[in-house]
Structure 1
Amino acid sequence: MAVHSLRFRLVDSPDSYGAKRRARRAAWLSETFPDLADMSVLDLGGRVSSWTKVPVRPKHVHVVNLEPLPEELPDWLEADHADACELPPEIMARRYDLVFSNSVIEHVGGYERRRRMAEAIRMLAPRYWVQTPYRYFPVEPHWVAPGMQFLPVPARVAVARKWPLAYTPGKSYEAAMKQVLTTELIGRAEMRYLFPDAVVRSERLLGLTKSLIAVRTG
């Protein structure tokens, strides 16, 4: 119980470091795009609920992910069930003011799928904001486990099953393996390669780069 309480205080609670970091990131987004309130935004892999809490609400938000869709949405928000790496033609035919993606590209399943997602992002809007945890930060952020991302797959699976700060310790081997194989942190060189027309910003913690944000402002 004490360990799960620690994770809640660090990551999950409204007053946690994770919540404060997300709030700072939202403020940084609105500062980077001062006309955000007048924009149409495509959010790849996000959640509808996140946009109800931001300090500046865009004019229209289109959320696309693989989770079940909410039954009711406000008139400024729409949602579709789709793969960010294989967007359907009806979405690819649209144009937005901004494409936004937060902590998604590291989960899509390998370099080729990341490349396809990045290509779609660069096509769909003149501006984008793509955030991902930095591979070389010393603590793996999904499990809050030091150095986990550098371990071989069997060791990462063991950590995913038993590490007490994981979201769901004690999960099955199959579930842990799937989660490990679909969590692949990337570094600055790959981020620059995927988004050559962006500025890659660093989000820091204690002087160390904790996450990367590829930003194209137009």
Structure 2
Amino acid sequence: MTLHALRFRLVDSPTSLGARRRARRAAWLADTFPALADMTVLDLGGRVESWSRAPVRPAHVHVVNLEPLPAELPPWAEADHADACELPAGILRRRYDLVFSNSVLEHVGGHERRRRMADAVRALAPAYWVQTPYRYFPVEPHWVAPGMQFLPVPARVFVARRWPLAYTPGKSYEAAMRQVLTTELIGRAELRYLFPDATIRGERLLGLTKSLIAVRRP
């Protein structure tokens, strides 16, 4: 088995450890918000198809992402192409029951942009759920590379291009640099600073905190 195939089995396949953990997180979300099925949800950085597979689907989901929009949407969903840190006025004027974001905060590009996203999350709904990988888990989750997040930028770019468990090893220097510079894991102190009215929960793997979730109940 190649290392890239191993990554698929461990992280990316529908039956992988990563998929099981995502399913467990979805169940945790439903337990945290028992009225989820009746809620309007703003999902910053997510995908409509993820909610199609969710064990509990909200009454309405508004997905905001920088990716191309889906060609067709189910009647319970809407989607906009927008930046979670610079939301358009039409979205900022609205109110939702819950703002949700999963593994996006570490990709928005620096503390100031994380602060802008956090301010929008806190203002747009009485409840929120914001998950992000934990900086001090020993394995960087995007590249499945031990300790990569602690290396200087040139070394991280080298790993991004050469490490066989990366999503696409062998990518260009420019693409690897862009990916490295827009992936910045954060710790508990910064997450608490960004979301001072939240409870900070830790997801654990093998006894170690793997990711953090900032949760505010309505």
Q: What is the distance in 1 between the residues matched to 2:20 and 2:36?
A: 21
Which residue of 2 is the match for residue 129 of structure 1? Answer: 129
Superposed CA offset, 1:124-164 (max 9, x none): 00000000000000000000000000000000000000000
* 1:18 counterpart SS class: helix
Residue 109 of structure 1 pairs with residue 109 of structure 2: yes
Runs of 4+ in 1 over 3 A off after TM superposition: none
Q: What is the distance in 1 between the residues matched to 2:138 and 2:55?
A: 31
| Counterpart residue type for residue 187 of structure 1 | G
| Counterpart residue type for residue 153 of structure 1 | V
Which residue of 1 is the match for residue 94 of structure 2? Answer: 94
Q: What's the offset of the Cα at 1:2?
A: 1.1
Q: What is the distance in 1 between the residues matched to 2:180 and 2:190?
A: 20
* 1:41 counterpart SS class: strand
Which residue of 2 is the match for residue 138 of structure 1? Answer: 138
Identity, in percent, stands at 83
* 1:197 counterpart SS class: coil
Which residue of 2 is the match for residue 39 of structure 1? Answer: 39
TM superposition score normalised by structure 2:
0.99
Q: What's the offset of the Cα at 1:5?
A: 1.0
| Counterpart residue type for residue 141 of structure 2 | P
| Cα-Cα RMSD | 0.5
* 1:209 counterpart SS class: strand
* 1:203 counterpart SS class: strand
Q: What is the distance in 2 between the residues matched to 1:216 and 1:178?
A: 32
Q: What is the distance in 1 between the residues matched to 2:116 and 2:169?
A: 32
Q: What's the offset of the Cα at 1:3?
A: 1.0
Superposed CA offset, 1:33-67 (max 9, x none): 00000000000000111010000010000000000
Which residue of 1 is the match for residue 72 of structure 2? Answer: 72
Which residue of 1 is the match for residue 58 of structure 2? Answer: 58
TM superposition score normalised by structure 1:
0.99
Which residue of 2 is the match for residue 6 of structure 1? Answer: 6
Which residue of 1 is the match for residue 28 of structure 2? Answer: 28
Which residue of 2 is the match for residue 152 of structure 1? Answer: 152
| Counterpart residue type for residue 139 of structure 1 | V
Q: What is the distance in 2 between the residues matched to 1:112 and 1:191?
A: 13
Q: What is the distance in 1 between the residues matched to 2:86 and 2:52?
A: 27
Q: What is the distance in 1 between the residues matched to 2:196 and 2:4?
A: 40
Q: What's the offset of the Cα at 1:24?
A: 0.1
Map 1:178-217; keep pairs closer than 5 Å.
178-217=178-217
Q: What is the distance in 1 between the residues matched to 2:19 and 2:78?
A: 25
